[in-house]
Copies of this chain bind each other. A is one copy, B any other.
């Protein structure tokens, strides 16, 4: 899995702080364009966070290129509707040498079986295409494990929700891995903005999953 930020709103923390300032003061555009000090930004962002006033966080967005993830993952990912996606098409792009993702739990004998199937599917796909089956139909053979590539854009508020749900220990392992990489990438660019992002046990000291939770919070509090 490879995750890179290929574009983002420049100076995201300044932009969110400027929007916050506009809501609560007489400040006009001139002042909005002035650079705020780090302390001023921190004070404004804290005010938003404490009052749950999250809409100003929507003004900044991050565009990720995501490679080497499975179609099982991408099917889950695109369920996040407040985001934009472009995905490599299996209808138009040949899968004559498709890569695949192997779950870590698939080991030993299971791994032999798994790999055998991947080879057999590759061969079958190629034969179908050779027999004149259109790519868009031959792909019906391809497994959930098949690697895919996406470009995905989220605004910061939608990322908060994504990290809350998908960095959780109870999330499916592959999307948790993706979420964790995305979080580490955005933190490089905007550490203040994402300092509390993550599962609620880390960020807000409670567990969304209730009795279905992983127990981390309880262990920590004892």
Looking at A35-43, A144-152, A184-192, A214-222, the stretch in contact with chain B turns out to be: A144-152
Contact A109 B89 (CB under 8 A): no
Contact A93 B24 (CB under 8 A): yes
- With an 8 A cutoff between CB atoms, is A159 at the interface? no
8 Å CB contact of A7 from B11, B29, B127, B212:
B11
Contact B7 A59 (CB under 8 A): yes
Q: Could you tell me which residues of chain A, from 91 to 136, have a CB within 8 Å of some CB in chain B? A: 91-93, 100-103, 105-106, 108-110, 113-114, 116-117, 120-121, 124, 127-128, 131-134, 136
8 Å CB contact of A6 from B18, B134, B150, B153:
B18
Interface size on A, residues (CB 8 A): 95
8 Å CB contact of A120 from B8, B63, B117, B206:
B117
Interface CB pairs A-B, < 8 A, 25: A4-B33, A7-B9, A7-B11, A8-B9, A20-B86, A22-B65, A24-B89, A25-B88, A33-B65, A50-B211, A51-B212, A55-B84, A59-B63, A78-B79, A81-B81, A84-B155, A90-B144, A106-B137, A110-B128, A113-B124, A114-B128, A117-B141, A140-B145, A142-B144, A144-B144
Q: Which residues of A contact B (CB under 8 A)?
A: 2, 4, 6-11, 15, 18-20, 22-26, 28-29, 32-33, 50-52, 55-56, 58-61, 63, 65, 67, 70-72, 74-75, 78-79, 81-82, 84-93, 100-103, 105-106, 108-110, 113-114, 116-117, 120-121, 124, 127-128, 131-134, 136-137, 139-145, 149-151, 153, 155, 172, 206, 208-212
